[in-house]
Amino acid sequence: MYIALGDLKRKAGSVFQGPITHSISSNRMEKLVITGGQPLRGSLTVAGSKNTALALLTGALMAEGTSTIANVPRVRDVRTLAQIMEFTGAKVDIPDAGPLVVHAERVIFPEAPYELVKKMRASFYMLGALLGRFGTARVSLPGGCAWGPRPVDLHIEGMKAFGAEIDLEQGYVIARAPKGRLPGGSFRLEPSSVGATINLLLAAVRATGPSRIENAASEPDVIVFGEALQQMGAKIAGLGTRTIEIEGVEALHPAAIVNCPDRIELGTFMIAAAIAGPPGGSVRIDNAEHRHLGGAFKDAFARAGIRVDYHDGHIVVHTPEVILPTDIETAIYPGFPTDLQAQWSVLMARAAGTSRVTDTIYIDRFNHIPELQRMGLRARVEGNAVRIEGGQQLTGAQVMSSDLRASVSLVLAGLIARGETHVLRVYHLDRGYENLEAKLRAAGVAIYREQYDEFAMPEPPEG
Ligand code: EPU
């Protein structure tokens, strides 16, 4: 069935009203213009976790009733998921401030359409949520991603192991529990996957029997999500370990859920502070849950010679005189997060020597490197790694965002570049960073947002 965008808007209702900064029919886009060289002053405040919020939102669909979720960032991905949830008949209120309210009494249409799912991979969580609650779901496959294949085979095989019958039809996954509810089962994730662990938890919490997820993800996002399901009455053991066991229950009840701070935004701000903090001074970062960073990231900071004071709820990053070249390799939690490797490359641009950034989770996540090279970065992509020669002065340029973390790395580079940096296609950044430019502006950075025409040609010089 083809669904026109107009129909989607009518079905999705209020949440479709979010800021729309680009459209296919128009060439108007937004960019960030940053004048580099001013040190950060004062403090930065981290928003609620984007990735955990997405899981919590679908979790709220599991209970017939009204749940609230506090500390949710007002970012585009949250609005996209809210639209998808409203498509099923649920209602998601996103006030300007305060908790989101999810009304999940009336969920009547267990479907997630391609037009919305293609915008964001996490919308595939709808498969577990709808199958778990209704025993039936029709969810579009998400399709490709900016940096190569990101399969969902483990989600699907896991659902099958839990007793689902699955068919693929015209790009959609059609899933059914033969007797109305899944019986539950056992599945081993190889490799470990954050998204598949979350999706399988959603599918299993209302199954008729027990389930087990082996080699489960132990990222904080999964723990906070699992704890929210427990708060709603789910029986889950082993959160934070490699084996999660679930005893299905008849029904979940609504709850007042609190999201955690965003660990990737925290790491991003730590790098901003290290490269652009006031000489001889420090930058404070508030709403910081440093335990969620994982040991490898903190260790890499220490090896780079950057002093950080870790406190409950806030941290202080002391501006280093010299940044030491420091190799990192991404890995599952508590390893170095793949979502911070692009930002780490900008930190290493400032280092006194050569370093290597290796991504073992997404082997070709290096779209930011050619853009940073346009700003003068000396770097070379070698397989799933990039070798960075630190110590060169970056210069401002027009650079293109290609995904969320790539785009924030360009903003970081803009903070330390000589002159103006124009970060184009900023809608990528808006998917996951709430009010980034307002936060940076309040900390003394000359940064503003401007509209531009993607297809405009420069005027030829006179004469
Ligand atoms: N994988 C499979 N099959 C699957 C699922 C995953 O082979 O069915 C592989 C992936 O290709 C990858 C590895 O497993 O090599 C781990 O991927 P994972 O499933 O853990 O990633 P995800 O759940 O799709 C989440 C975050 C990403 C983050 C990754 C890794 C959300 C919404 N997304 O994605 O965040 O990079 O975990 O930590 O939580 C971002 O925020 O910018 C972002 C991309």
pLDDT for res 147: 58
pLDDT of residue 448: 96
Q: Which string of b and e fits 3-15 if b means at least 16 CB within 10 Å? A: eeeeebeebbeeb
Using alpha carbons only, how large is the chain's radius of gyration in Å? 22
Rounded CA gap, 357 and 362, in Å?
A: 12
Report, as an integer, the average pLDDT of 356-363.
96
pLDDT computed for residue 341 by the predictor: 98
User: For the segment 95-115, what is each residue's pLDDT rounded down to a tens digit?
Assistant: 999 999 999 999 999 999 999
User: Which atom of ligand 1 lies nearest, measured to the CA of 219?
Assistant: 38
Closest residue by CA, ligand 1 atom 28:
339
Give yes or no for residue 222 CB within 6 A of ligand 1.
no
Q: How confident is the model at residue 149 (pLDDT cuts 50, 70, 90)?
A: low
Which residue spans of the chain are classified as CATH 3.65.10.10? 28-46+261-453, 49-258
Cβ(151) to ligand 1 under 6 A? yes
What average pLDDT does this structure show over 304-320? 98
Look up residue 80 and give its two tokens: 């996209």
Cβ(435)–Cβ(459) below 8 Å = no
Closest residue by Cα to atom 27, ligand 1, is 339
Ligand 1 midpoint to CA 193 (Å): 6
- How far apart are alpha carbons 121 and 265 in whole angstroms? 19
- Residue 390: CB partners within 8 Å, gap ≥ 6? 323, 325, 348, 349, 350, 351, 352, 353, 354, 355
Q: Do the beta carbons of residue 144 and residue 108 sit within 8 Å?
A: no
Is the model more confident about 1 or about 56?
56
Please write the tens of the pLDDT for every residue from 368-382: 999 999 999 999 999
CATH placement of domain 49-258 = 3.65.10.10
Cα–Cα distance for residue pair 411/428, rounded to 1 Å: 12
Tell me, in angstroms, the distance from the centre of ligand 1 to residue 221's CA: 12
pLDDT at site 456 = 86
Instruction: Note the pLDDT of residue 148.
Output: 64
**Residue 18 pLDDT greater than 80, yes or no:** no
The CATH label, of 3.65.10.10, 3.30.200.20, 3.40.50.1000, 3.40.190.10, for the domain at 28-46+261-453 is 3.65.10.10
pLDDT at position 146, please? 66
